[in-house]
Amino acid sequence: MTEAGPIWRRDFPYTSEGEDGVTRREFARFLVAASVAVAGGSGVVSLWASLRTINTGAPRRVVSLDQVSVGDSYLFRYPTENDPAILIRHDDETILGFSQKCTHLGCVVFWAPAEQHFECPCHEGIFNLSGEPTAGPPERPLGRIEMEVRDGDIWALGANEDAT
Protein backbone atom coordinates (compact mmCIF):
# COMPACT_ATOMS: atom_id res chain seq x y z
CA MET A 1 0.00 0.00 0.00
CA THR A 2 1.23 3.51 -0.77
CA GLU A 3 0.13 6.86 0.53
CA ALA A 4 -2.08 7.22 -2.51
CA GLY A 5 -3.86 4.01 -1.62
CA PRO A 6 -3.52 0.35 -2.46
CA ILE A 7 -1.74 -0.68 -5.68
CA TRP A 8 -4.87 -2.23 -7.15
CA ARG A 9 -6.51 1.20 -7.00
CA ARG A 10 -4.03 2.42 -9.66
CA ASP A 11 -4.86 -0.55 -11.89
CA PHE A 12 -8.56 -0.24 -11.29
CA PRO A 13 -9.24 3.44 -10.75
CA TYR A 14 -13.00 3.25 -10.65
CA THR A 15 -15.29 4.12 -7.81
CA SER A 16 -18.98 3.81 -7.31
CA GLU A 17 -21.25 5.99 -5.30
CA GLY A 18 -21.35 5.03 -1.66
CA GLU A 19 -18.70 2.31 -1.86
CA ASP A 20 -16.94 3.66 1.18
CA GLY A 21 -20.16 4.17 3.04
CA VAL A 22 -20.71 0.63 4.31
CA THR A 23 -19.24 -0.13 7.71
CA ARG A 24 -18.68 -3.60 9.10
CA ARG A 25 -21.60 -3.04 11.43
CA GLU A 26 -23.91 -2.16 8.56
CA PHE A 27 -22.73 -5.17 6.60
CA ALA A 28 -23.25 -7.40 9.63
CA ARG A 29 -26.70 -5.89 10.13
CA PHE A 30 -27.57 -6.74 6.54
CA LEU A 31 -26.36 -10.31 7.03
CA VAL A 32 -28.32 -10.71 10.26
CA ALA A 33 -31.44 -9.34 8.57
CA ALA A 34 -30.90 -11.84 5.74
CA SER A 35 -30.47 -14.59 8.33
CA VAL A 36 -33.78 -13.72 9.99
CA ALA A 37 -35.46 -13.46 6.58
CA VAL A 38 -34.20 -16.90 5.53
CA ALA A 39 -35.44 -18.40 8.81
CA GLY A 40 -38.78 -16.72 8.16
CA GLY A 41 -38.81 -18.10 4.63
CA SER A 42 -38.23 -21.60 5.95
CA GLY A 43 -41.10 -21.06 8.35
CA VAL A 44 -43.39 -19.96 5.52
CA VAL A 45 -42.44 -23.03 3.47
CA SER A 46 -43.11 -25.31 6.45
CA LEU A 47 -46.40 -23.62 7.26
CA TRP A 48 -47.45 -23.92 3.62
CA ALA A 49 -46.54 -27.62 3.67
CA SER A 50 -48.63 -28.10 6.81
CA LEU A 51 -51.69 -26.20 5.66
CA ARG A 52 -51.96 -27.12 2.00
CA THR A 53 -54.59 -29.55 0.88
CA ILE A 54 -53.65 -32.03 -1.79
CA ASN A 55 -56.09 -32.99 -4.48
CA THR A 56 -56.09 -36.77 -4.57
CA GLY A 57 -58.74 -36.86 -7.26
CA ALA A 58 -62.26 -38.17 -7.60
CA PRO A 59 -63.16 -41.54 -9.14
CA ARG A 60 -63.47 -41.33 -12.91
CA ARG A 61 -63.39 -43.58 -15.94
CA VAL A 62 -60.04 -43.63 -17.74
CA VAL A 63 -60.32 -46.00 -20.70
CA SER A 64 -62.05 -49.14 -21.84
CA LEU A 65 -60.34 -52.34 -20.73
CA ASP A 66 -60.41 -53.61 -24.35
CA GLN A 67 -58.16 -50.76 -25.47
CA VAL A 68 -55.26 -51.86 -23.26
CA SER A 69 -53.67 -55.22 -23.99
CA VAL A 70 -52.08 -57.32 -21.26
CA GLY A 71 -48.54 -56.03 -20.70
CA ASP A 72 -49.29 -52.70 -22.32
CA SER A 73 -49.37 -49.25 -20.79
CA TYR A 74 -51.77 -46.37 -21.25
CA LEU A 75 -51.11 -42.70 -20.59
CA PHE A 76 -53.73 -40.51 -19.00
CA ARG A 77 -54.03 -37.46 -16.74
CA TYR A 78 -54.98 -37.80 -13.09
CA PRO A 79 -56.08 -36.29 -10.75
CA THR A 80 -55.89 -33.06 -12.80
CA GLU A 81 -54.98 -32.29 -16.40
CA ASN A 82 -51.56 -31.19 -15.17
CA ASP A 83 -50.70 -34.55 -13.64
CA PRO A 84 -49.41 -37.11 -16.15
CA ALA A 85 -50.19 -40.67 -15.14
CA ILE A 86 -49.65 -44.12 -16.54
CA LEU A 87 -51.41 -47.42 -16.06
CA ILE A 88 -50.05 -50.88 -16.72
CA ARG A 89 -52.28 -53.83 -17.47
CA HIS A 90 -50.30 -56.48 -15.66
CA ASP A 91 -52.72 -59.33 -16.35
CA ASP A 92 -56.36 -59.74 -17.26
CA GLU A 93 -57.70 -58.06 -14.15
CA THR A 94 -54.71 -56.40 -12.49
CA ILE A 95 -54.31 -52.75 -13.39
CA LEU A 96 -51.51 -50.75 -11.81
CA GLY A 97 -51.67 -46.95 -11.86
CA PHE A 98 -48.80 -44.56 -11.18
CA SER A 99 -47.95 -40.92 -11.43
CA GLN A 100 -45.53 -40.36 -14.27
CA LYS A 101 -43.56 -37.81 -12.29
CA CYS A 102 -40.16 -39.12 -11.29
CA THR A 103 -39.65 -38.64 -7.56
CA HIS A 104 -36.16 -37.34 -8.19
CA LEU A 105 -36.76 -34.11 -10.11
CA GLY A 106 -40.19 -34.58 -11.65
CA CYS A 107 -39.30 -35.73 -15.17
CA VAL A 108 -41.84 -37.97 -16.88
CA VAL A 109 -41.07 -41.68 -16.55
CA PHE A 110 -42.00 -44.17 -19.24
CA TRP A 111 -42.77 -47.87 -19.20
CA ALA A 112 -40.18 -50.21 -20.72
CA PRO A 113 -42.15 -53.39 -21.44
CA ALA A 114 -39.12 -55.51 -22.35
CA GLU A 115 -37.44 -54.79 -19.02
CA GLN A 116 -40.71 -54.64 -17.10
CA HIS A 117 -39.79 -51.43 -15.32
CA PHE A 118 -40.25 -47.66 -15.47
CA GLU A 119 -37.39 -45.53 -16.67
CA CYS A 120 -36.72 -41.86 -16.14
CA PRO A 121 -34.80 -40.52 -19.13
CA CYS A 122 -33.38 -37.51 -17.29
CA HIS A 123 -31.04 -39.25 -14.84
CA GLU A 124 -31.63 -42.92 -15.62
CA GLY A 125 -33.77 -43.61 -12.60
CA ILE A 126 -35.40 -47.03 -12.64
CA PHE A 127 -38.60 -48.09 -10.85
CA ASN A 128 -39.90 -51.64 -10.68
CA LEU A 129 -43.46 -52.74 -11.36
CA SER A 130 -44.43 -51.81 -7.80
CA GLY A 131 -43.12 -48.28 -8.36
CA GLU A 132 -40.19 -48.80 -5.99
CA PRO A 133 -36.89 -47.21 -7.08
CA THR A 134 -34.29 -49.83 -7.98
CA ALA A 135 -31.55 -47.78 -9.64
CA GLY A 136 -30.46 -44.21 -10.20
CA PRO A 137 -30.96 -41.16 -8.03
CA PRO A 138 -34.66 -41.54 -7.03
CA GLU A 139 -35.14 -42.61 -3.42
CA ARG A 140 -38.91 -42.51 -3.11
CA PRO A 141 -41.44 -44.69 -4.93
CA LEU A 142 -43.64 -43.39 -7.71
CA GLY A 143 -46.98 -42.01 -6.60
CA ARG A 144 -49.64 -44.70 -6.74
CA ILE A 145 -53.09 -44.30 -8.23
CA GLU A 146 -55.71 -46.75 -7.13
CA MET A 147 -57.25 -48.42 -10.20
CA GLU A 148 -60.25 -50.67 -10.64
CA VAL A 149 -62.07 -52.44 -13.45
CA ARG A 150 -65.79 -51.70 -13.53
CA ASP A 151 -68.05 -53.10 -16.21
CA GLY A 152 -65.29 -53.40 -18.78
CA ASP A 153 -63.85 -49.99 -18.07
CA ILE A 154 -60.73 -48.97 -16.17
CA TRP A 155 -61.38 -46.44 -13.43
CA ALA A 156 -59.01 -44.31 -11.41
CA LEU A 157 -60.32 -44.11 -7.86
CA GLY A 158 -57.81 -41.82 -6.19
CA ALA A 159 -54.15 -40.95 -5.90
CA ASN A 160 -51.92 -40.94 -2.89
CA GLU A 161 -50.30 -37.64 -2.02
CA ASP A 162 -47.04 -38.44 -3.82
CA ALA A 163 -48.92 -38.81 -7.09
CA THR A 164 -49.94 -35.18 -7.24
Positions that interact with other proteins (CB under 8 A): 23-25, 27-29, 31-32, 34-36, 38-39, 41-43, 45-46, 48-50, 54, 103, 140, 161-162
Question: Nearest distance from residue 19's CB to other proteins, in Å?
Answer: 16
Nearer to other proteins, 37 or 112 (CB): 37
CB of 112 to other proteins, least distance (A): 25
| Smallest separation, CB 20 to other proteins (Å) | 12
Select 146 or 153, whichever has its Cβ closest to other proteins: 146
CB closer to other proteins, 39 vs 70: 39
User: Which residue number, 29 or 61, has a Cβ lying nearer to other proteins?
Assistant: 29
> Do you know the residue count of the chain?
164
Q: How far is the CB of 48 from other proteins (least distance, A)?
A: 7
3-state secondary structure the chain: CECCECHHHHHCCCCCCCCCCCCHHHHHHHHHHHHHHHHHHHHHHHHHHHHCCCCCCCCEEEEEHHHCCCCCEEEEECCCCCCEEEEEECCCCCEEEEECECCCCCCECEEECCCCEEEECCCCEEECCCCCEEECCCCCCCCEEEEEEECCEEEEEEECHHHC
Which of residues 23 and 82 has its CB atom nearest to other proteins in the complex?
A: 23
Torsion of CA 70, 124, 137, 107, to 10 degrees: -70
Question: 3-class SS at 75?
Answer: strand
Q: How far is the CB of 154 from other proteins (least distance, A)?
A: 26
